[in-house]
């Protein structure tokens, strides 16, 4: 029995990582739709991912959302972080999960590709 539990736990972690990567890919697609509606512009760092679920304040006639049904979270229930410009690609934002430890800026963070 002791051999089965660690293997199952490891598989669950991998499944959660895979599910989180799929969620991040969905957010990236929603951002592309948002960008199409906004003549190539992406949400600012201060707007973040909330503009994908809620119409921004003011007179944004280009907003055709909601682009997502609910605020995006990872498989552990933590909201994803939006960082724009991205570290790896300054033309597109980074979408980051805090990973299994639910703490950002640690070694288990998951960055979408």
Q: What is the pLDDT of residues 49-88, one digit of tens each?
A: 999 999 988 888 999 999 999 999 999 999 999 999 988 8
Helix, strand or coil, per DSSP, at residue 94: strand
How far, in Å, CA of 63 to CA of 51, rounded? 9
Buried b (16+ CB within 10 A) or exposed e, 27-53: beebbeebeebeeeebbeeebbbebbe
Domains along the chain?
4-101 (3.30.700.10)
Is pTM beyond 0.75 here? yes
How far, in Å, CA of 52 to CA of 27, rounded? 9
In this prediction, residue 88 carries a pLDDT of 80
In this predicted model, what pLDDT tens digit does every residue of 4-59 receive, in sequence order?
555 555 677 788 999 999 999 999 999 999 999 999 999 999 999 999 999 988 88
């Amino acid at each position: 029995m002791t051999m089965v539990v660690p293997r199952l736990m490891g598989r669950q972690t991998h499944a959660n990582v895979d599910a989180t990567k799929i969620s991040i890919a969905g957010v990236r697609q929603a951002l592309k739709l948002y960008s199409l509606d906004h003549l190539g512009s992406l949400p600012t760092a201060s707007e973040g991912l909330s503009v994908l679920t809620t119409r921004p304040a003011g007179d944004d006639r280009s907003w055709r959302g909601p682009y997502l049904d609910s605020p995006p979270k990872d498989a552990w229930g933590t909201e994803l972080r939006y960082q724009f410009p991205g570290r790896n690609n300054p033309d597109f934002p980074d979408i980051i999960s805090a990973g299994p430890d639910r703490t950002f800026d640690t070694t288990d963070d998951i960055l979408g590709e």
